Amino acid sequence: MLRAVIFDFDGVITDSEVLHLRAFNQVLGDFGIEIATKDYYKDYLGLTDFDCFEALINEGRLRIKAEEIKNLVEHKNQIFEKLAKSEGRIIEGVRDFLQMLKQNDIPMAICSGALLVEIELILEEAQLRSFFDVIVSAECVEKGKPEPEGFLLALQKMNEKKQGSILADQCIVIEDSHWGLEAANAAGMHTIAITNSYDAEQLAMAEKIITRLSELNIRDLQLLCA
């Protein structure tokens, strides 16, 4: 039985991955570093901002102390906010899909490795904030994707708000990366992958793969949880 849908944010709701990469590279430029686009999508896209900078330190590319990461994250966030206000956009078909779920009384949540301020900014600009009962952002968890902590926390918070007992296998997660799909599978939730960031072969672990949300109707979602 379908009881809830949980969305990743970047690459599913908004087409902002390229803005994140530009923001990272503006910060990293001060250190003479640049992340190539192919490397970002291959190695870093599913990470939180903190984890991305930490990975670069561990790889020996970014020569700073770990305690300095917080300042870089704040700087990157400031740059991203400016880019999002001028260039951020909602992916085609998202608004109609959210409206369909709302009309069928399906609770919706976001579970993302992005910061809450980034998510709220784009949702408010697009007038989509009211669709989501719960937002779990990078600050909410100790371990990001592919760990299941974020999805389990989103489920917990939805149950607290609805005073109900939604089970993990009554939830569908919509993701655009293998990190997110691994996390959703580990949480015991159903999975749909959308090929906005990776091709279908790289998302093969999903139960269903789509190229756009308009391909789905409420019956498709119900059958996945049947």
**Could you give the domains of the chain?**
4-15+89-224 (3.40.50.1000), 17-87 (1.10.150.240)
pTM of the model: 0.83
The counts of H helices and E strands in the chain are: 9, 6
Q: Which residues contact 143 (CB under 8 A, 6 or more apart)?
A: 149
Widest CA span in the chain: 52
Confidence check: pLDDT of 162 > 90: no
Mean pLDDT score of the chain, rounded to an integer? 94
Confidence check: pLDDT of 123 > 80: yes
Cα 27 to Cα 51: distance, rounded to the nearest angstrom: 15
Looking at residue 45, what is its pLDDT? Answer: 84
- Mean pLDDT value of segment 93-120: 95
Residue 27 structure tokens: 């910060």
- Mean pLDDT value of segment 101-115: 95
Cα-based angle 174, 22, 85 (whole degrees, multiple of 5): 75
